[in-house]
Amino acid sequence: MFKLFLCFITVLPVLVFCDEEETRIVGGSNAPDGAVPYIVSISQEYGGKLHHICGGSIIDKHWILTAAHCFRQEFTPTVVAGTNNISKGGKRYKVGSIIVHEKYLKYKPEYNDIALLKLSTEIEYTEKIQPVELTTEDPKPGTVCILAGWGYVDKDRKKRATDLQIIELKTISKDCRRMSKVDRKQNICTFTKNGEGACQGDSGGPLVAKASKKQIGIVSWGVPCAYGSPDVYTSVYAYRDWINKHIKK
């Protein structure tokens, strides 16, 4: 599974998902420049550099949608938008507040895995920085989707992505429901084949329906990375009321 527990590298409080429950894109390809203008990197600064922690999506000029488990360990996030290469370029934004779902529990991180970041300053939209529309319908099994992220690109976690990776996946129903800890109302799942899927570093990133171009999911967990099992996402449709309640305050 995409590990929803925290590890530590040296003495730095970096969020690293451990062996079994990881989130990255494996089997994808480099995204064309500007093809995913709604995706952001949620990063942590230390040593004078930004280090990618999770993905997220722009849903409003002040708001970023992501996963709650990205904030199980406290850190000060910086949002980077408008670049495919996380080592350079892009526009940086400070985060004013973090709203984690009130029913999210650290010891049950598979449930209510959703969070919002309110930025300190308004996002300036450009050709490469745009919001994504949120779905108003529960996606049907077989929906073709686009997933993007900067996580690991190999199943053995030896190579991280510097350039944004993108992959086409499909939602499934029956096989996913057999997995433990999957809630049929809170979660949706994708699966294509062994060697393709999400893993470490893709947590919180957006799953978008290819036809409607609307976000339907948020990368949450899986068993394990791209080894022939489904990836599990928080369903955007299931949390539309929760999202709207906070961003409209």
Closest CA to 234 of 184, 164, 166: 184
* Cα of 124 vs its chain's centroid, Å: 22
Residue from 203, 220, 229, 235 carrying the catalytic annotation: 203
Q: What is the largest CA-CA distance in the chain?
A: 47
Beta strands in 77-185 (DSSP E): 77-81, 91-100, 115-119, 133-134, 144-149, 165-172
Query: What letter would DSSP give residue 27?
Result: S
Would you call 113 a catalytic residue per the annotation? yes
**Is position 163 annotated as part of the catalytic site?**
no
Collect all residues with Cβ–Cβ distance below 8 Å to 167 and sequence separation of at least 6.
25, 27, 28, 29, 146, 147, 148, 196, 197
Helix, strand, coil abundance in the chain, percent, nearest 5: 10, 40, 55
The reply to whether 69 belongs to the active site is yes
Kindly give the pairing relationship between strand 214-222 and strand 133-134.
parallel
Q: Which member of 43, 52, 57, 69 is catalytic?
A: 69
Picking from 43, 75, 74, 42, the residue whose alpha carbon sits closest to that of residue 58 is 42
Which amino acid, one-letter code, is at 83?
Answer: T
Annotated catalytic residue within 52, 113, 229, 235? 113
Interatomic CA distance for residues 60 and 133, integer angstroms: 9
Active-site residue numbers?
Answer: 69, 113, 203
